[in-house]
């Protein structure tokens, strides 16, 4: 039995679909609320759903778990409640780490490329304390993920108890089905599809940096199936531990993405540049590109899906259909 926190969310529900195909029992820790998140699980209901506030009692019952995959978090990059973010993204993660260490269970958790801040310190997933301390996240969410990465590195450096397998995954820009409840944090691919499908141009932010042209801001966009494949690889290889980037290793521009959306929608290129919101100026990552050496060296050899292929799969197999869910 696998426990997945955030299992009704975007990445979590795609992972759950893959675990369901393996005939594995899954306990999901999440809140379905009233935003339609239940539809993320409609085709593959879990064995059990536990509300986050009941997680402590559930773990105290000594459930027969085989692994914990911790994806649940406050993931809004515009979050401002520091106390709430700390409790959700750091304190809960520390509790689960200690519990897995005591129970001798694998622990896989979601970190984030937001920990790299403006990228000036590079995108190297070195989990050495000195290397991690050089990073300067730009927002509260990224800082909280960085805080837990630092804490984990400190625990390991001090030789304190740790899970028999542990892996932190620094997700870059993930896109794919079942993200529809995410509001402002939905992927750029989905936003641009909605614009183009409605007959409007794909609107891109003008650059807030003099050295980067409008539309040439670039991110490492990764198809959610590749993310799920990496998590399954870790579950299948308990000898692999560490902090790993999870992107494609290739940055692509927002213009590239907009063109891919237009192509998949079967329309000519139409792109319009609009001012960047003031709330994002100075907090916007204009470039991200994962160094993938460590995960590759650990044995993950699946080819990553090119942006154009992933965007086409998302639009043709999900967004263009009456049932957009996996």
Check residue 283 and give its pLDDT: 62
- pLDDT of residue 65 exceeding 90, the answer is yes
Q: Which is catalytic among the residues 141, 175, 180, 314?
A: 141
Please tell me the distance from the alpha carbon of residue 319 to that of residue 323, in angstroms, as a whole number.
8
Binding-site residues for substrate sit at 173, 184, 205-208, 219, 284
Q: Which of 170, 175, 180, 182 is catalytic?
A: 182
- Residues that constitute the known binding site for NADP(+): 10-11, 30-31, 37, 71-75, 145, 174, 182
Please report the domains of the chain, with CATH numbers, ordered by start residue.
2-173+222-249+288-304 (3.40.50.720)
- Render pLDDT for 93-104 as a digit per residue (tens, 0 to 9): 999 999 999 999
Q: Please report, in range form, the residues annotated as the binding site.
A: 10-11, 30-31, 37, 71-75, 145, 173-174, 182, 184, 205-208, 219, 284
pLDDT at 143: 96
78-to-18, 138, 186, 281 alpha-carbon distances in Å: 31, 10, 13, 12
| Angle (CA) 19 23 27, round 5° | 60
Q: How confident is the model at residue 78 (pLDDT cuts 50, 70, 90)?
A: confident
CA 175 to CA 11: how far, in whole Å? Answer: 9
Instruction: State the average pLDDT over residues 10-18.
Output: 98
Task: Tell me the HSE value of 310 on the side-chain side, using a 13 A CA sphere.
Answer: 27
For 213-271, the pLDDT digits (tens) are 999 999 999 999 999 999 999 999 999 999 999 999 999 999 999 999 999 999 999 99
pLDDT of residue 35: 83
Name the nearest CA neighbour of 111 among 182, 176, 167: 167
> What confidence score (pLDDT) does residue 75 get?
86
Q: Catalytic residue at 182?
A: yes
Q: Write down the pTM of the prediction.
A: 0.95
Known active-site residue 190: no
Nearest to 59 by CA among 116, 105, 114, 121: 105
Say if residue 71's pLDDT is above 90: yes
Per residue in 118-149, pLDDT (tens digit) is 898 999 999 999 999 999 998 999 999 999 99
Q: What is the mean pLDDT of residues 183-212?
A: 94
Task: Please determine, for residue 209, whether its predicted confidence score (pLDDT) is greater than 80.
Answer: yes
Cα dihedral 82, 49, 223, 268, rounded to 10, equals -90
Work out the end-to-end distance of the chain between its first and last CA atoms, rounded to an integer number of angstroms: 21
Pairwise CA distance, residues 134 & 125, whole Å: 12
Nearest to 286 by CA among 296, 276, 297: 276
Average pLDDT for 89-112: 98
């Amino acid at each position: 039995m696998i426990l997945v926190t955030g299992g009704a969310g975007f990445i979590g529900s795609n992972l759950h679909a893959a675990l369901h195909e393996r005939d594995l029992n899954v306990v999901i820790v999440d809140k379905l609320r009233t935003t339609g998140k239940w539809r993320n699980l409609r085709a593959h209901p879990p064995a059990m759903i536990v509300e986050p506030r009941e997680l402590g009692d559930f773990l105290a019952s000594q459930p027969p778990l085989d692994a914990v995959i911790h994806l649940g978090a406050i993931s809004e990059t515009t979050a401002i409640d520091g106390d709430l973010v700390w409790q959700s993204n750091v304190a809960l993660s520390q509790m689960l780490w200690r519990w897995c260490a005591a129970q001798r269970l694998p622990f896989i958790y979601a970190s984030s490329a937001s920990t790299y801040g403006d990228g000036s310190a590079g995108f190297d997933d070195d989990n050495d304390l000195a290397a991690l301390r050089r990073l300067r996240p730009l927002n509260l969410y990224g800082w909280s993920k960085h805080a837990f990465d630092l804490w984990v590195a400190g625990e390991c450096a001090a030789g304190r108890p740790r899970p028999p397998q542990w892996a932190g995954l620094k997700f870059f820009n993930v896109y794919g089905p079942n993200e529809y409840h995410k509001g402002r944090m939905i992927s750029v691919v989905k936003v641009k599809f909605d614009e183009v499908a409605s007959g409007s141009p794909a609107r891109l932010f003008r650059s807030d940096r003099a050295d980067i042209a409008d539309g040439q801001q670039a991110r490492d966009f990764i198809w959610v199936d590749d993310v799920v494949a990496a998590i399954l690889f870790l579950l299948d290889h308990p000898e692999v531990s560490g902090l790993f980037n999870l992107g494609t290793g290739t940055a692509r521009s927002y213009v590239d993405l907009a063109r891919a959306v237009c192509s998949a929608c079967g329309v000519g290129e139409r792109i319009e540049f609009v001012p960047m919101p003031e709330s994002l100026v100075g907090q916007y990552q204009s470039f991200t590109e994962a160094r993938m050496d460590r995960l590759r060296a650990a044995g993950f050899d699946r080819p990553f899906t090119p942006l154009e292929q992933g965007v086409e799969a998302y639009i043709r197999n999900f967004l263009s259909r009456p049932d957009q869910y996996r």
